[in-house]
Amino acid sequence: MALVVHKYGGTSMGSIDRIKNVARRVAKWHNAGHQVVVVPSAMSGETNRLIGLAREIMPEPDQRELDMVTSTGEQVSVGLLSMALMQLGKRAVSFTGWQVPVKTDTSHTKARIQSIDEEKITENLDQGKVVIIAGFQGISEDGNITTLGRGGSDTSAVAVAAALKASECLIYTDVDGVYTTDPRVVTDARRLKKITFEEMLEMASLGSKVLQTRSVELAGNYHVPTRVLSSMTDPDIPIEEEAKSGTLITFEEDSHMEQTVISGIAFSRDEAKITVVGVPDRPGIASQILGAIAAANIEVDMIIQNQSINGKTDFTFTVPRPDYNRAMDLLNNRIKAEIGATDIIGDAKVSKVSAIGIGMRSHVGVASKMFGTLSEEGINILMISTSEIKISVIIDEKYMELAVRALHKAFGLEQM
Ligand code: ADP
Ligand code: ASP
Ligand code: MG
């Protein structure tokens, strides 16, 4: 007997029939003698719908109230799933984040989990019940409902698994594992049987939304065995088969079995690039620009400072596209005059494409292959950034899918 955490995403919970299927799958694990905690997302489209309602009333919604609204999607899911289990003759009980409680910091709409009280969960598991906990939400120390950012149910599930020292966290979704790139963009992408935690972290943070980045960080910090697998299979397939399916995130480099240099290609469509032109080249300028951007809670990603000519330089950086207008306003209305820059140029139609692989540590020539491939396709590279296990480029958004396909092929990632 083991204690397992199951997480089901929006599509997996997307209709009454799908919820009934989830209940059958969960019941199968419970019937086999396992203790099961389930963390579902809201039904697909529901969180977007709730955000839409809020925006109809307040275009830039108050963040506390927005959390109050968006957290309801998961409350509906947990109740429905609990009833579906009861209909199968199972004992089940659902909890919202605040009932557990899942304690978070106070950053509304992007809160971080601080601790999870396991008492109520364990007590109910010991009574033989399936415990269902609303994903994506928690309660802050000042007693407000918080949410964990889009895709946050992954993080809720891994955090619950860490708190309960579960033997595995199974992330059930609408694809059957982690692929070499998004299988919706490259149809011959290949499913990885295993991926190292470090690679998964890069994949997630560079745009592969199959797992929320924070969930991968938590899996790494607490060594939670985590598997991504399909919720679309027949719920009655044998557990032994299901338990081996999908993609396992591993913590040892030598489990990097496939010995490939590049494990995956990630991309993020929603980037924007800003150049501050004609900045006086003196100490403190970068911190003045970036400090003001950070104070506005805007995350800066890639940064380039050009060589200075006649004491002036250009300073370029990228921000998430949803923050682009705010960043431009801030620079034009305040920073430009403060630092004596000549101009602010923005481009909100850029994307980021990255090649990721721990094999890069021991292989040279990945960068030249990547740049060569893009050049053969006539794709101009606007910015580059590298780390030990990844290379990212910023390109015009209209070439993004072409770049992903070309790189996926060039690095030999297709299905055999
Ligand atoms: P859920 O609702 O279950 O949380 P998400 O939509 O958040 O599901 O994540 C699953 C989706 O992630 C897939 O449908 C797929 O399009 C996308 N995705 C992006 N990159 C990858 C990848 N490398 N491997 C698998 N899926 C990926
Ligand atoms: N329902 C939330 C969202 O749509 C959380 C999740 O699905 O993980 O972002
Ligand atoms: Mg998700």
Could you read off the pLDDT of 191-233 as tens digits, one per residue? Answer: 999 999 999 999 999 999 999 999 999 999 999 999 999 999 9
| Contact in structure between 94 and 39 (CB atoms under 8 Å) | no
Using a 6 Å cutoff on CB, does residue 136 contact ligand 2?
yes
Q: Which ligand is nearest to the CA of 134?
A: 2
Q: Report CA-CA distances (Å) from 197 to 150, 227, 280, 381.
A: 21, 11, 42, 29
Going by CA atoms, what residue is nearest to atom 6 of ligand 2? 151
Q: What is the pTM of this model?
A: 0.93
Nearest ligand to residue 7 Cα: 1
Ligand nearest to the CA of 212: 3
State whether residue 189 is helix, strand or coil. Answer: coil
As a dihedral over the C-alpha atoms of residue 244, residue 249, residue 253, residue 256, rounded to 10 degrees, the angle is: 50
The CB density around residue 238, as the number of other CB atoms within 10 Å, is 9
The answer, yes or no, to whether any atom of ligand 1 lies below 6 A from the CB of 231, is: no
Phi, psi angle pair for 134, to nearest 5°: -65, 130
d(CA 56, CA 31) in angstroms, rounded, equals 46
Residue 101, phi-psi category: left (phi > 0), alpha (psi -120 to 50), beta (remainder):
beta
Angstrom distance (rounded) from CA 13 to CA 41 = 7
Which atom of ligand 2 sits closest to the CA of residue 73?
1
Q: Which two tokens stand for residue 22?
A: 């989830």
Residues whose beta carbons lie less than 5 angstroms from ion ligand 3: 9, 151
pLDDT in tens, 145-196: 999 999 999 999 999 999 999 999 999 999 999 999 999 999 999 999 999 9
Tokens standing for residue 187: 């149809």
What's the order of all strands across the beta sheet hosting 390-396? 303-305, 312-320, 264-280, 343-356, 390-396, 383-387
Q: Any idea which residue has 């994307």 for tokens?
A: 351
pLDDT recorded at residue 240: 96
- For residue 215 and ligand 2, the question of a CB distance below 6 A is answered with no
**Distance, CA of 164 to CA of 6 (rounded, Å):** 13
Could you report the per-residue pLDDT of 234-260, keeping only the tens digit for each? 999 999 999 999 999 998 765 555 567
Answer yes or no: is the C-beta of 11 below 6 A from any ligand 1 atom. yes
pLDDT score of 255: 54
Task: With both helix axes pointing from N to C terminus, report the angle between 213-222 and 153-164 in degrees, rounded to the nearest 10.
Answer: 10
Q: Which of 52-61, 203-212, 299-308, 384-393 has the lowest mean pLDDT?
A: 299-308
pLDDT at 21 over 90: yes
* Element holding 139 (H helix, E strand): strand 137-140
Residues 404 and 217: their CA atoms lie apart, in Å, by 25
Q: Evaluate: CB of 150 within 6 angstroms of ligand 2.
A: yes
Q: Which of 69, 136, 156 gets mutated to test ligand 2 (max ligand atoms within 8 A of its CB)?
A: 136
